[in-house]
Amino acid sequence: MSEGAFDALRAGLADAAKTLRALTENGDADRLDLLNAVMGLDDAMGDAAELLATLPAFLAAAEPVEPIRSDLADWASRQAEAARRVAQARALLDARLADERQLDGLAAEHAELTRRLADLERAERLAASLPALREQHRVLAERVSAFSDPALRAEQAVELAAVQLDLLTGLRAGGWRAELADALAAAAAAQARLAEQLAVDRERLSGLEGENDRTRAELAVIDERAARLEDEHRELQARLSARLKANQRVAGSMAGLREADRRLTEIDGMLAAALRERETALADSRRRRRNGEAT
């Protein structure tokens, strides 16, 4: 039963060494795969702690011959040191991942603030055009006012012409001269032209009034939006100031992140070297054991 457990341990260690060797020798290995390997190795080393803890008592009970006893003790010491280094790398990795999550959150908030800032800049450009729109509204109002009075006078003139036409028609029935008939015809034609012009003027006046109403509505909407955007601008400035301070703090922590990355790289190298040493020691131990059994 014990031989099966040791065979499983030997196979597991060989697979782990093969995996770590492949990641170490692959210059194009994904950084995420390397970090996942560190976490997996840390978990495995944690499970191996119980084995390392029972090894001294086992060696005392088994009383193996030298150099097997010293090889196993030396191996246990190296494994404990490797476990400590892996745990340290895991702690650095967890800290780095936390910083990366914070940076991702800051980047997302920065993108949102940038978008809102662009909207605010467009609104500010729109607010800058308000004086021109108000001037246009004033000109339209003056045009409507100036145009309405002549239209009223034209309407009164048409009514007066109608009265005069009726009067001249009655005189014509009384036998006035032919010249009066010509004047009457000219007056009737003038009345028709005046009525036609009055209709055109009324239509133009209606259009100007409609345009004036639309301009007033647009100005009201723009005034409301400008007030809202001014409030958002103040809020955005406050948030940008807070983000600037946060970014300065994060920038200060980036130096620590680079140092952590350098230490992770060093630990990766040390782990690879330790694994190679362990494999060499195990191979030597198995060779010596086989030689001892043969004798």
**Can you give the pTM of this predicted structure?**
0.32
In this predicted structure, the answer to whether residue 134 has a pLDDT above a threshold of 70 is no
Tell me the C-alpha distance between 109 and 124, whole Å: 22
Which pLDDT tens digit goes with each residue over 55-106? Answer: 666 666 666 656 656 766 666 677 677 667 767 777 777 777 777 788 788 7
Tell me the C-alpha distance between 137 and 132, whole Å: 9
Q: With the CA atoms of 126, 132, 135 and 139 taken in that order, what torsion angle do they form, in degrees rounded to the nearest 10? A: -110
Higher pLDDT, 213 or 53: 213
Residues 6+ apart with CB under 8 A from 167: none
Residues 6+ apart with CB under 8 A from 236: 113, 116, 117, 120
pLDDT on residue 180: 47
- Helices 31-62 and 68-128 pack at an angle, to 10 degrees, of 160
- Domain coordinates in residue numbering, the chain: 2-120+256-294, 126-246
Residues 6+ apart with CB under 8 A from 201: 147, 150, 151, 154
Tell me the C-alpha distance between 264 and 258, whole Å: 10
Tokens encoding 207: 């259009």
In this predicted structure, the answer to whether residue 31 has a pLDDT above a threshold of 60 is yes
Higher pLDDT, 177 or 93: 93
Q: Are 45 and 86 in contact (CB under 8 A)?
A: yes
Q: Which of 11-20, 86-95, 134-143, 187-196 has the lowest mean pLDDT?
A: 134-143
